[in-house]
A = this chain, B = another copy of it.
Amino acid sequence: MSRETGPSAQIVRVLADELAGLPSGTRVASEAEVGQRFGVGRAAARAALGELERRMLVSRIQGLGTFTRRRVDYLVAPGRAPSWSRTLREAGASPRTVVLACDAVPLPADVATALEVAPGTRGFRLVRRSHIDQMPAAWGVEWLAADLVPELPAALRVEESLDTILRETAGVRPERAWTRASVEPAPEEASDGLGCRPGDPAWLMASLARDGAGGRPLLSTERWVRADAVRVVLELGDGRDA
C-alpha cells in the first residue's frame, strides 16, 4: 500500500490534505501554480488536479479555475418526506430550482398507468433543474395530473417547492411510495441538463409519490442527480435497525 507511482500521486495527497479543511467554493491553485510549486510540468500538475476532480473534491471550470466543492447528503428512506428542497435545506444547503418547461399535455400511457388515471388525462409535464450553492445538481422530468393543481405554472412562479405547492394548494400530503435508484455514466441528454460532461457519474432516480391520506398517486418523477454534488444514501429497512 501507499506505493508511489510518480510525483503526481504525492501532489494529490498533499493537495487533498490542504483542501480538506477549506470551505466549499474556495479557489484552488491553477495548473501553472501547482506545476511551479511542485517543480513539475503542466501535464503532471493537470493530472493531479484532474484526480482531485475525479475524487469529487474539486470542480474545474474552463476559464474560471478550480474550486473546492462539498457533497451534500441526501438520505432516501421509506417514510422520509420526498421533498428535495426541504431535505437539502435541513442538510444546510441553499437549493434553488428553475423551471425549464411546464406544459399542459395529455399524460402518456406509462405515466397515466403509474398515476392510476385514464390514458390521455390532462396533466403537467414539468422539466426542472435544481442547483445547490449555484451549481447545477439535478435535472429531470416530473408528471402530475392537471386536476391536482390546475394553476401549476402560476404557483411555480411563487413557490419553488412542488411538495409545498401540493400540500397547500391541492391539500394533499405527499409521501414517498416507490423509488428506484442507480448510478450511470450521464448520457448526453442528462449531462446537458446537469451542466457536466457526458459520462460523468450521476444518479438516475425514478420515484412515485402518493397522498398520505387516501393513497392516491400524485407525482411521477425521473431525475438525474450529479454524483459529485449530492451524496445520495439509500436506506432499505424494516425500521428496527439504525
A residues within 8 Å of B by Cβ?
Answer: 1-2, 51, 54-56, 76-78, 114, 176-185, 188, 192, 199, 201, 203, 208, 227, 231-238, 240-241
Q: Do B51 and A235 have beta carbons less than 8 Å apart?
A: no
A205 → chain B, closest Cβ, in Å? 10
What 9 pairs between A and B have smallest CB-CB spacing? Answer: A178-B237, A178-B241, A55-B185, A55-B199, A179-B236, A182-B233, A234-B234, A180-B235, A181-B234
A89 → chain B, closest Cβ, in Å? 20
Residue of B at shortest CB range from A181?
B234
Chain B hits for A178, CB < 8 A: 235-238, 240-241
Known interface pairs A77-B236, A201-B201; 16 further A-B residue pairs with C-beta atoms within 8 A, sorted by A's residue number: A1-B188, A2-B188, A76-B236, A176-B236, A177-B240, A177-B241, A178-B235, A178-B236, A178-B238, A178-B241, A179-B234, A181-B233, A182-B233, A183-B231, A183-B232, A201-B227
Q: Do B237 and A177 have beta carbons less than 8 Å apart?
A: yes
Q: Do B51 and A180 have beta carbons less than 8 Å apart?
A: no
Tell me, in angstroms, the Cα distance from A76 to B181 when the chains sit together: 10
Chain B hits for A180, CB < 8 A: 233-237
A229 → chain B, closest Cβ, in Å? 12
Determine which residue in A54, A177, A183, A208 has the highest number of CB atoms from chain B within 10 A of its CB, and name it.
A183
Determine which residue in A55, A179, A241 has the highest number of CB atoms from chain B within 10 A of its CB, and name it.
A241
Q: Do B2 and A236 have beta carbons less than 8 Å apart?
A: no
Tell me, in angstroms, the Cα distance from A31 to B164 when the chains sit together: 54
30 residue pairs of the A-B complex, CB under 8 angstroms, read: A1-B188, A1-B192, A51-B199, A54-B185, A54-B199, A55-B185, A55-B199, A76-B236, A77-B236, A114-B241, A177-B237, A177-B241, A178-B235, A178-B236, A178-B238, A178-B241, A179-B234, A179-B237, A180-B234, A181-B233, A181-B234, A181-B235, A182-B231, A182-B232, A183-B231, A183-B232, A201-B201, A234-B234, A234-B236, A235-B236
